[in-house]
Amino acid sequence: MIQFEFPDEPTWVTTESLDGVRYQLTFEYKERPDSWYLTIADQNGVIAYRGARLTTAVDLFRNYKRGNDSLPPGIFFVVSLTGSQALDPTFESFNEDFAFVYLTRDDIDDRADLVPSLEQFPLTVTSPP
C-alpha cells in the first residue's frame, strides 16, 4: 500500500512505481468546486486518464480498467481518517482528515476481504470543470 502525502501546493506532480511500472501522477486542486483531481500518465507522459475527481471510498478507475492496460492494475481511493461525512477532500483537508492510497495487486491479493467493501459504494469519476 502506498499513501501519498499532499504538499501545500494546488498542483503537484510525482513519479511513482506502481506494481513495477513507473507512472506520472498529477494532482490538481480546483478552487471553484473545492476538489482535487488526478491525471495519470505513463513514464513518457502519455495520458491514461485525465481529471479523476478524488472522492472518498470509491475505486477511482474501476470502470475504466477493463481493456485499458495503460492504467495501474491496483486500486486508488480516498479514505476518511476522521470519519468525516464529506465526500470530497478540500485543499486543507488532505493529510489530516483524508488520505489518498494506492493498493497494489499484491495488497489486493493478500487482503481480498477488504476489496469487496470498496465496491459497495457508487462510482463517481468526473472531469474537472
Encode pLDDT of 63-80 as tens digits: 887 777 899 999 999 988
Q: CA–CA separation, 14 vs 36, rounded Å?
A: 15
* Residue 119 scores a pLDDT above 60: no
Note the pLDDT of residue 58. Answer: 83
* Residue 59 scores a pLDDT above 50: yes
- And the C-alpha cell for 115? 476489496
Q: CA–CA separation, 129 vs 45, rounded Å?
A: 22
Mean pLDDT calculated for residue range 31-41: 94
The answer for residues whose C-beta is within 8 angstroms of residue 122's C-beta and 6 or more apart is 58
Pairing of strands 75-80, 98-103: antiparallel
Q: Quickly tell me which residue has 501519498 as its cell.
A: 4
* Residue 114 scores a pLDDT above 90: no
* Residue 127 scores a pLDDT above 60: no
* Residue 128 scores a pLDDT above 60: no
Nearest residue to 43 (alpha-carbon basis) of 27, 71, 24, 19: 24
Mean pLDDT calculated for residue range 84-90: 80
Note the pLDDT of residue 129. Answer: 42
The type of residue at 87 is: L
pTM metric for this prediction: 0.81
